[in-house]
Structure 1
């Protein structure tokens, strides 16, 4: 089953401050990523959005990438093969944005990606969400506060903070956007204090799927797993992990030699 991803980017003016946004359709709800650059172009931000999306998945992952940029979709599905055969050159010179094109090509080649063009600003809620994230990234690149959301999007899953480590590690890019939903009119009841734990985005998706199969919320599933590991301790956990299919077997102690029998 393919994971659906929306990617969008843009500048205002073009060239000028730009932003990119990514929405990953996780099993518990969408996961948001965004960032921006103070001086760039529309096309570079569109390419960057697709690159950041693919970087969130391991090699071999099955993805449906939905973009409202024909420049991105046609570059990968129609034009890139010819560019590569000619040494990344066209009849007028080097391919534009060749650094991003090469990176996108390498990432897509290592994953099973289906590229789909969607019409922008046509009422697709996930595409609109990606557009709002790109606007947020562009404003942050200009040092402006994030804009108020136009509509309440779907709530983010409990693991929405998981891709932050990957996104924050990219130089010159803003941190992923928090939940875009407007603040409720009444303050929520205080809950238990929590702390975000950054892990790989692909692992976060696996945890979300496992929690769904167990009929639990993601946060409850993770908390139960952590308590079990802490209760078992590192040695018992390692032994159990070694007994799982596909895991290397734990080393066995060599048998003691038996004394020779009396003649």
Structure 2
């Protein structure tokens, strides 16, 4: 397993600056999205994937993952909205072309929300249909597709997430914090490690999506071992944030990044 750093952890930095921080901290890989000063140009990705990829190649460092959002916020053109499927599939073809041109290992999307008139199961079935269609496109590309279960989506429990994996055939961008803040014990989340395509690291506790490293309840050495024993050998993206979502404004992001980096290095015998 190897560490990377999410560019959106540092919302005031450009992508080049965020990549420089990753280098300075000895992490040496950066993850990209559409958000904040480091955000990519969605219009360019969709209209000219090769041109958009040139910015990524210019970083001259591994870019393990791209986080794509089809619409605006959590609700816009979300995967559980059946009316958005055709538009999303059209865009996804361009997204995958961009990821391959930029040599990005994986792309993650959000599973969707409970839309007007839906139940959780309705949303699950709609999302699974969309993910199956996207997976059919992804099979012709090097980059892997995955989805991130998150707070405020329909996929807020390990059981529903496992059902979505089974129904769609698509793996997970696994972030324990989204389950821990809802009160799930770490051992209840652990079985999802077998389905991880990508992993995010952030400390959390019941009621708080993000907590200071010393004050959260996630046992990261145990998590690393669970992932290893499940056969995961991919990237671990360090992702403390400074943003409005779930009131994650109040931590020293750089201190939390270093704490997570050091925790992994200590568990890994002091090696990157």
> What interval of TM-score do these two structures reach, taking the shorter chain for normalisation?
under 0.3
Structure having the higher helix fraction is 2
Structure having the higher strand fraction is 1
Higher RCO (CA < 8 A, seq sep 6+): 1
Greater gyration radius: 1
TM-score (norm 1): 0.23
